[in-house]
Amino acid sequence: MERMRSRLSVPVVVALVASVLLTLATPIGSLTAAAAECSLRVGPGIPPPGSVPSGLPGFHAAWYGQSGYPTLCPGQTARAVVAYYNSGSLGWRIAPLEYAALGTWGPSPGQDQPSILGGDGTRGTPNTRFAGYNRPAAMPHEYIGPGQVAWFQFTVKAPSTPGSYRFYLRPLIEGVQWMEDYGVFWQVTVVSAGPPQRVTVTSANTAMDLFIAGSETFRYDRNDAFEANDAVITYEMFELVISQSDLVDIRYESAPDGVSSFNVVGDFGAFPPMVAVEAGNFDGNGPIKNDVRVTITPPASGGSAVNWNQRAFVPAGTAKCEAISGWYQPDHPTETGSFVDRDKASGTYCYRSGPQSAGWNAFGYSAPVTVPAP
């Protein structure tokens, strides 16, 4: 179906875009109701313009409609869709100097800058499966010719602090040029809410798209939102993960057309380790306390024998280490148990560790640790 969409004529696509955007949207409720029910709400989709330029020499893109603005509870995710019409004379294809993508833009977060609303789990971004930390989406098909429409999809995630956030983007041809700036953005409203419901899975039946926790049955489908330790995963990955004894944080919508959120925070057999840190002088090299001892303890449920261990330099005063705290970089990638990160510059650091066998960034995080000035 997606491949057919990119080859339809402009009038047909106009009607189809409007139809799909309205299908994606549900009436937006009051902030108070959203906070109390803690359910995802998406405003009406924005339809394409009545006409767009066509056949401009070179690479060009015209905005062609988008899904509506979401209202979310902290930590909740929402899918976003934006359509761009190839208004140039050259096709977009998966090839060097012809590859179309969406890039982050200003004023928020800024050109090519990371965002707290989405990313790939690097440079302080939450892992919502962007194509890169500053590339929300890549080409949906191998080729988008002149006069055809590309449907770019990506996922945004609500920060933990209630408020209103904007996320700007702009299309580009990688390594060649940025295409037209139509001021496209998503307005993400985050409302106050209590924590999600946490359950322990008693049994799972992926053939029937359900799992049981105690006396409750939870059904899911491809329209729901899935995560593993706060990293966005696909429906297929969720079905591989969910099993007896898993811990799952849930914001559940029982209506068939509702969007539920499932976050596997304790995957039996692959749960992230505990990460403890301490600053001091552990290498015996003088009196300066510029080393960090990192202790990685496997979970009681059993864990991976090989972990990704990473470190981020974070702002002073950071209260909690999480994916968006800073830019995590590989360090001691195959260590297990305790190791010493030697001779660090003064400042505050976060450490994280997660199983290499996982198909997503499922990390356990340390508390912030400060290396004092000499």
Question: Which residue type is seen at 36?
Answer: A
CATH architecture of 2-190: Sandwich (2.60)
Give the pLDDT of residue 361.
Answer: 52
Is the CB of residue 122 less than 8 Å from the CB of residue 327? yes
Q: What is the mean pLDDT of residues 328-333?
A: 69
Is the CB of residue 125 less than 8 Å from the CB of residue 133? yes
Instruction: Provide the 3-class DSSP secondary structure of residue 272.
Output: coil
In the CATH scheme, what is the code of domain 274-371?
Answer: 2.60.40
**pLDDT band (50, 70, 90) for residue 338:** confident
Is the CB of residue 39 less than 8 Å from the CB of residue 28? no
Instruction: Provide the 3-class DSSP secondary structure of residue 34.
Output: helix
Place of tokens 């902030």: 31
Place of tokens 């990506």: 154
**Regarding predicted confidence, which is higher, 344 or 10?**
344
Q: What is the mean pLDDT of residues 194-221?
A: 94
% of residues, the chain, pLDDT over 90:
53
Q: What is the mean pLDDT of residues 191-197?
A: 90
Alpha carbons 121 and 361: distance in angstroms, whole number: 7
Q: What is the mean pLDDT of residues 14-27?
A: 40
pTM, two decimals, is 0.66
The answer, yes or no, to whether residue 14 has pLDDT greater than 80, is no
Question: Residue 12: in which H helix or E strand, if any?
Answer: helix 10-24
The answer, yes or no, to whether residue 319 has pLDDT greater than 90, is no
How far, CA to CA in Å, does 180 sit from each of 38, 56, 63, 192, 241?
37, 12, 9, 36, 41
Q: Which residues contact 101 (CB under 8 A, 6 or more apart)?
A: 131, 135, 137, 138, 139, 171, 172, 174
The answer, yes or no, to whether residue 7 has pLDDT greater than 80, is no
The answer, yes or no, to whether residue 28 has pLDDT greater than 60, is no
pLDDT tens digits, one per residue of 219-242: 999 999 999 878 888 898 898 889
Give the pLDDT of residue 80.
Answer: 96
Is the CB of residue 252 less than 8 Å from the CB of residue 342? no
pLDDT tens digits, one per residue of 82-108: 999 999 999 999 888 999 999 999 999
Give the pLDDT of residue 257.
Answer: 83
Give the pLDDT of residue 351.
Answer: 92
Closest CA to 130 of 168, 94, 106, 102: 102
Is the CB of residue 100 less than 8 Å from the CB of residue 68? no
Per-residue burial over 148-162, b if 16 or more Cβ lie within 10 Å, else e, is bbbbbebbbbbbeeb
Q: What is the mean pLDDT of residues 70-81?
A: 94
Give the pLDDT of residue 174.
Answer: 93
Q: What is the mean pLDDT of residues 113-136?
A: 91
The residues spanned by each domain of the chain are: 2-190, 197-266, 274-371
Alpha carbons 316 and 294: distance in angstroms, whole number: 19
Is the CB of residue 336 less than 8 Å from the CB of residue 294? no
By mean pLDDT, which of 115-129, 170-184, 320-334, 341-355 is the weakest? 320-334
Question: Which residue type is seen at 133?
Answer: Y
Q: What is the mean pLDDT of the chain?
A: 83
Q: What is the mean pLDDT of residues 1-23?
A: 39
Alpha carbons 38 and 29: distance in angstroms, whole number: 11
Alpha carbons 108 and 115: distance in angstroms, whole number: 8
Q: What is the mean pLDDT of residues 19-23?
A: 40
Give the pLDDT of residue 266.
Answer: 79
